[in-house]
Amino acid sequence: MKILLMGNPNVGKSAIFNRLTGAKVIESNYPGTTVDYTRGYMRLDDEDVEVIDVPGTFSLEPKDVAEEVAVKILKENRDSVVVCIIDSTKLERGLYLALEIIEEGYPVVIALNMWDIAKEKSVWIDAKKLERVLGVPVVPTIAVSGEGIRELVSRIKEASPVDIERIVRNLEG
Amino acid sequence: MKLNKEMKFEIGRVYFAILGAVVLGIGIAEMLLGVTGRSFEWGIMEMSGEFLLWRGLILFFAGTFYLSSIQNFSDIHQLAKTVMASVMIWIIAGMKIFSMILESIPGGEEGGWFNTLEGFLASYSAPYIPSIFLLPFSLLVLYYIKLVESEEKMDGMKEESQPTGSGGDT
Amino acid sequence: MKLTVDERWDLIDKIAEQVVKYGEYRYRLKDAIADITVKPLTGIPIAIAVLYGFWSFFGAFAGFFTDGFLVKLFDNHWLPWLQEVFPGKGGWLYYIFVGDPAADNCFEAFGVLTSALFVAIGVVLPAIVAFYLFLIILEDTGYLPRLAVLVDTVLHKIGLHGFAVIPMILSLGCNVPAVIATRALETGKQRFMMAVLLAIFIPCGAQLGIMFKVIPGHVGFVMLYLLAGFFVFGFILDRLLPGKSPEILLDVPPYQRPIAKNVTRKLWMRVKSFFKVAIPFVLLGVIIVNLMYLTGFLGWLANLLEPLLCGWFGVPKETVGPLVAAFLRKDLAVAQLSAIEMTMPQLVTSVVLVSLYFPCVATFAMLIREGREGGLKGVSQYLFGGLGALIAVIFLWGGLIRLIWIILGVA
């Protein structure tokens, strides 16, 4: 099993990566491109699990090389759990990518990052309700202070693939 | 005369600008003395003793916090800096007072178990470190905290929801 | 099933409508304060102020009990009484338990019932209570995990994590509880590295006191030199040792007011476990050292090391005795050092060497105890790994300082 950190650019993905992985971080170049991505290891239930900080992307229909690499990394690691990092102030944009990944059949955990900034802007997201609707764990986080990171990790094992039709039904029901 | 909110913040702005400049100055002076290993006494005030360099550094930061907060003083982020600057002064002054109290009780190396009354009182005599003098002046920030908090309450908004509020283990 | 782009946006709109609320939350002053304590530019000055508060509190509280009352109790009442009533003055049993019959204070007597008991109860216990009290309050308010996150980035560079600040801070008071605190680290490699680095490079309260006495003008330099050594050797050890250094996941609760009942309960638990774990080892350590002294092993060691120490570090021959004894009795070593005629560089070198040693027998005993969890292998890792690192550091880092003097042209 691997853990892929995915999300739009500038959602604090690297900050979460730094909170999750140890000091030994491996910088790699994706073969045939100029795109770099980082890998590291984290401790999950007494096991070392590889974590990949996937380049930021807005969707799975790539618009540039970095996005292309992101999609390739996702496709190459079918047995991964995807931690989808969403900027809480830009929920819709982040959800778009999250839904696409869910549709691909990956188990997903959602981190509502930059929760403090959302608060500052008087945006409040009902994380519990979002969790019920999507059927995947949703955890508010603040990467700069570390709030919520531990909970995020503890809920990785709850992630399982969700059928998109169920989400549609959840919304209506 | 009843002051409106803008005027109250304008007064705070000027007040903390002056306080900030004084704190910054004292901080720099203490740091210079600390680095060169000297001390300075002026009437009932002294700049000497343990950790002088560190105390100077902290006052330097506190002064910088005050001064950087005066622009848009009524903004909550700026006020937060004023609060923390005051807290930094409270830490230095509070710890000094705490250690003065503890030092005044035992009898000392040659004496009995407890201090004599004269010895007890003598431990509270001047000179004092600058932070003790700055302490009362920094307390004005409490008024502004109250001012902001009463406004927060008046808005009648819902209590916050914390990041771990989604059924977390915290 | 997959959705089309439009269907997806449609779904998102519906979700957002149900879960997002605007204006529900208002950013409060306490949020703004929480924010500036974790941002480096404002967070580091605040952290310095908090740590200053920590140290002042520690010094005042521990000084109140130790210097105010316990020193008097042990030196003026316990020691004379013990020297009076303990049978067999001059015998080896007397030497082990009471120590030097001519001693007029418990610190220098070096018997199990004098020095060891005094250090454990008179010096370390008040320090431990003061230390844990403040630490638990920082922990329960939620400040401590944020401080750890703040320094995380710097420590990542040597394979350690923000959480390592806690043992580091602990260590400046006494290395024994610091070694215990390394248990909170995640892997065996991290625990071993941190314990060894702390024991070697971070001077404890007693060592700091010594420095201020002998080289008052150079304490800052020595501290910087030791801290640099901490990072350099941390970096090297991280690469030499096998194993991983995963991140330590901290629970970072929102800021809150600490509850007095929780604080006192935690304090009691930690002090109790300290008593159970550390005190037997302090007592045992003193017994072992006294035996080494009595059997002449230490004198033999001093003779053996003499040419090495003089040649490599450039310190006068007379310092060898005190330097070897420093492993056991630092206060005495320093008293002897200051009596020897030396140039300032030689004196600084000697003090650096004294600081680099394991701070005391108690810490050494604690290190071995930490290894015990890994069975015989663990014990030998801590014992020989620790000693190996110590010897390497003393020669390299202690030799480097002589090189600095040579380059500066003062030695």
Q: Are residues C36 and B81, on separate chains, in Cβ contact within 8 Å?
A: yes
Q: Are residues C8 and A100, on separate chains, in Cβ contact within 8 Å?
A: yes
Q: Tens-digit pLDDT profile for chain C (411 aa)?
A: 678 889 999 999 999 998 988 876 677 888 888 889 888 889 889 999 998 898 788 888 888 888 888 888 888 889 888 888 888 877 888 888 888 777 777 766 778 888 778 877 887 788 778 878 888 898 888 888 888 778 776 666 666 666 677 777 777 767 777 887 777 677 778 788 888 888 888 887 667 766 766 776 777 778 888 888 888 888 888 888 777 666 666 677 778 888 888 899 988 987 887 777 667 766 777 777 778 778 888 778 777 877 877 788 877 777 776 776 666 555 556 666 766 777 778 888 888 887 787 566 667 777 777 777 767 777 887 888 888 888 888 888 888 888 888 888 775
Q: Report yes or no on C203 lying in a domain.
A: yes
Q: Are residues B164 and A147, on separate chains, in Cβ contact within 8 Å?
A: yes
CA distance B86 to chain A (A): 23
Interaxial angle between packed helices C125-141 and C40-65, expressed in degrees from 0 to 180 and rounded to the nearest 10: 150
Residue-level pLDDT at C153? 61
Look at residue A112 and give its three-state secondary structure. Answer: strand
- Identify the chains in contact with A, defined as 3+ C-beta pairs within 8 A: B, C
Q: Which fold has domain A2-172?
A: Rossmann fold (3.40.50)
Q: Report yes or no on B89 lying in a domain.
A: yes
Which of B160, B162, B169 should be substituted to probe chain C, the one whose Cβ sees the most C Cβ atoms within 10 Å?
A: B160
CA distance C283 to chain A (A): 36
C2 interaction partners in chain A (CB closer than 8 Å): 103, 164
Give residue limits of the domains in chain A.
2-172
Q: Report yes or no on B163 lying in a domain.
A: no
CA distance C105 to chain B (A): 13
A119 interaction partners in chain B (CB closer than 8 Å): 160
Q: Report yes or no on B105 lying in a domain.
A: yes
Q: Is C2 on the interface with A (CB under 8 A)?
A: yes
Residue-level pLDDT at B79? 92
- Identify the chains in contact with C, defined as 3+ C-beta pairs within 8 A: A, B
Q: Report yes or no on C73 lying in a domain.
A: yes
A147 interaction partners in chain B (CB closer than 8 Å): 162-164
pLDDT over 60 (residue B168): no
> Counting one residue from A and one from C, how many pairs have CB atoms under 8 Å apart?
138
Of B149, B152, B170, the CB nearest to C251: B170
Q: Are residues B80 and C49, on separate chains, in Cβ contact within 8 Å?
A: no
Q: Report yes or no on B169 lying in a domain.
A: no
Q: Are residues C186 and A126, on separate chains, in Cβ contact within 8 Å?
A: no
CA distance C160 to chain A (A): 7
Domain that holds residue C346: 36-248+257-408
DSSP A24: -
Residue-level pLDDT at C411? 59
pLDDT tens column, B110-138: 778 888 888 888 889 888 999 999 999 99
CA angle C36, C40, C42 (to 5 degrees): 45
CA distance C317 to chain B (A): 33
Residue-level pLDDT at C275? 76
pLDDT tens column, B19-30: 999 999 999 999
B91 interaction partners in chain C (CB closer than 8 Å): 49-50, 52-53
CA distance A32 to chain C (A): 29
Q: Report yes or no on B166 lying in a domain.
A: no
Measure Cα distances from A59 to A9, A34, A63, A78, A161 in Å: 11, 20, 9, 17, 19
DSSP A55: P
Measure Cα distances from A146 to A7, B149, C30, C252, C398 in Å: 18, 27, 17, 6, 39
Which of C9, C15, C186 should be substituted to probe chain A, the one whose Cβ sees the most A Cβ atoms within 10 Å?
A: C15
C27 interaction partners in chain B (CB closer than 8 Å): 76
Of A19, A127, A165, the CB nearest to C1: A165
Q: Give the C-alpha separation, B155 to C150, whole Å.
A: 34
Q: Report yes or no on B159 lying in a domain.
A: no
Of C46, C68, C72, the CB nearest to B105: C68
Measure Cα distances from B10 to A56, B21, B144 in Å: 45, 17, 12
Q: Report yes or no on B82 lying in a domain.
A: yes
Single-letter amino acid code for the residue at B128: Y
pLDDT tens column, B32-87: 998 887 888 888 888 887 788 889 999 999 999 999 998 888 888 899 999 999 99
Which of B161, B162, B166 should be substituted to probe chain A, the one whose Cβ sees the most A Cβ atoms within 10 Å?
A: B166
As a residue count, chain B comes to 170
Q: Are residues B166 and A142, on separate chains, in Cβ contact within 8 Å?
A: no
Q: Are A141 and A115 a contacting pair, CB within 8 Å? A: yes
> Counting one residue from A and one from B, how many pairs have CB atoms under 8 Å apart?
33
Q: Report yes or no on C346 lying in a domain.
A: yes
Q: H or E element: which one contains A169? A: helix A164-172
pLDDT over 50 (residue B2): yes
Domain that holds residue B12: 5-150
The number of folded domains in chain B is: 1
Residue-level pLDDT at C46? 94
pLDDT mean for each 10 residues of chain A (173 residues): 92 87 76 85 84 92 90 93 94 94 94 89 89 94 88 92 88 74
